[in-house]
């Protein structure tokens, strides 16, 4: 069966959004963000048949690659365990015995997904869907990288402003503590304060006094 050769362009994960907070300002809409939004709208507004075929093809193709890698590693592992390094015949016998004993269930999955991929490649609309959507996804991938770098750079710049502002306030407070004008103003203000009242004299006590702290006070007659 003739297959369709397609560029390795896959729909990527959504760009992570920054959450506005005290440390992260709300991002403005940059030219790259505008372009990214525009290309995303072009993708979702493509004909539904092309979108479904494109997404199904790339999804099945990705799964097939995983199953193929798993199957290859299984065979390599079996050939590396207790078999001759001189000739492949012992490995062949061991692998064949594994099939005979009902192992290699992952190969059944691989065969099924491989058949599904071949069926998708035989669809008459696949070539047109790939020609339409591959360039749009490639542009989306490029813009996502640029937007993410811009956001990271802006976050670093914003944090630098916060750190510089904090340091400037600390320096200003330290300078104010020794400012001569501030010291003179405080002295003028203190001159209006009333002098502290002298301590009250001790009360005069005549006669015998019962001392509460004296343990023998209760024995006085």
For 205-214, what is each residue's pLDDT tens digit? Answer: 665 655 555 5
| Rounded-to-integer distance, Cα 26 and Cα 208, Å | 81
Residue-wise pLDDT for 147-185, tens only, equals 989 989 988 898 998 999 999 998 888 888 888 888 888
Short-list 4, 6, 12, CA closest to 139: 12
Q: In terms of Cα–Cα distance, which of 40, 36, 44 is closest to 151?
A: 36
Helices then strands, each counted (H, E), the chain: 6, 0
| pLDDT tens per residue across span 56-80 | 999 999 999 988 888 888 888 878 8
Q: Kindly state the DSSP code that residue 218 receives in the 8-state scheme.
A: G
Residue 18 has pLDDT above 50, yes or no: no
pLDDT bracket for residue 193 (50, 70, 90): confident
């Amino acid at each position: 069966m003739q297959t369709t050769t397609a560029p390795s362009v896959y729909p990527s994960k959504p760009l992570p959004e920054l959450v506005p907070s005290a440390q992260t300002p709300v991002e403005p809409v940059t030219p790259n963000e505008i372009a990214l939004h525009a290309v995303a709208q072009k993708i979702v507004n493509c004909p539904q048949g092309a979108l479904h075929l494109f997404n199904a093809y790339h999804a099945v193709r990705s799964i097939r690659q995983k199953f193929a890698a798993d199957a290859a590693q299984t065979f390599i592992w079996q050939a590396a365990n207790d078999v001759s390094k001189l000739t492949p015949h012992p490995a062949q016998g061991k692998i064949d015995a594994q099939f005979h004993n009902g192992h290699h269930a992952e190969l059944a999955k691989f065969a099924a997904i491989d058949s599904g991929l071949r069926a998708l490649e035989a669809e008459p609309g696949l070539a047109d869907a790939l020609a339409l959507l591959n360039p749009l996804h490639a542009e989306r991938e490029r813009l996502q990288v640029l937007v993410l770098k811009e956001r990271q750079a802006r976050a670093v710049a914003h944090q630098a402003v916060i750190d510089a502002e904090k340091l400037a306030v600390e320096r200003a407070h330290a300078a104010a503590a020794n400012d001569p004008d501030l010291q003179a103003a405080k002295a003028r203000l203190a001159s209006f304060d009333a002098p502290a009242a002298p301590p009250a004299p001790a009360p005069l006590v005549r006669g015998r006094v019962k001392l509460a702290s004296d343990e023998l006070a209760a024995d006085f007659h």
